[in-house]
Amino acid sequence: MSKKQEILNRLKASRLVAVVRTDKPGDLIEVGRALLRGGVSFLEITMTVPKALTIIEQAADALKDDVIIGAGTVLDAETARAAIQAGAGYIVAPALRPAVVEMCRRYDVASMPGGMTPSEVLEAWESGADMVKVFPCGVGGPPFIKHLKGPYPFIDIMTTGTVTLANAAQYIEAGACAVGIGGELVGKEALANGDFDAITENARQFVEAVKKARV
């Protein structure tokens, strides 16, 4: 089994991705350790963060394979390649960029481009996506995901945007194989205060929530 497939299998089993925005590599490393203590082993740093590549490289090196670091908001192939070389184990985007998907295929790294409409979701999947990120999922909520999965039971969907502790399980029950969570999992206040115990507790609550999902 390839490393890419191992990562995808782990993600489908854990169902949770923490989306973090911080400009301090040390913070990301500590966040990764805090998340891992709570049962979350996927962490995405967006390319909108200053020096994101440096942060990804240092975090991936420190956390090894215990926490899989991904790069988010990747909008072009050059950035995808740089993120992969920095140690990103998967590449996420808010929209489909075929060149990004092709670059991920070249390096055998999981690609997760975004789509919102039925046409966009299908196009992303047919372009070679390993998983399609439905974003912003809050527009249609869990019912929209359920409707998408009706004609597309073969498409692996990850939802991000307004996923909360209250609705995370609903997205899984609707057919999402994973959910991406931002501030409610790793909040700005916890980061600012270095309250990593709070992040661990948040992670535990999300893990318990998705475990209870009826799938």
Residue 50 dihedral angles phi and psi, to the nearest 5°: -55, 140
- Coil/strand/helix, residue 133: strand
* Catalytic site includes residue 102: no
Number of other residues whose CB lies within 10 A of the CB of residue 127: 18
The two tokens of residue 125 are 């999947």
Q: What DSSP designation does 89 have?
A: S
23 Cα distance to chain centroid:
18
Cα distance between residue 165 and residue 46, in whole Å: 21
Cα distance between residue 84 and residue 53, in whole Å: 9
Which of the residues 133, 173, 184, 208 is marked catalytic?
133
Which of the residues 4, 30, 44, 57 is marked catalytic?
44
Query: Do residues 89 and 110 lie in contact, with contact meaning Cβ atoms separated by under 8 Å?
Result: yes
* Catalytic site includes residue 3: no
Name all contacts of 101-108 with Cβ < 8 Å and 24+ positions apart.
Answer: 101/127, 101/128, 101/129, 102/77, 102/128, 103/77, 104/80, 104/130, 107/81, 108/2, 108/3, 108/4
Q: Which residues are catalytic?
A: 44, 133
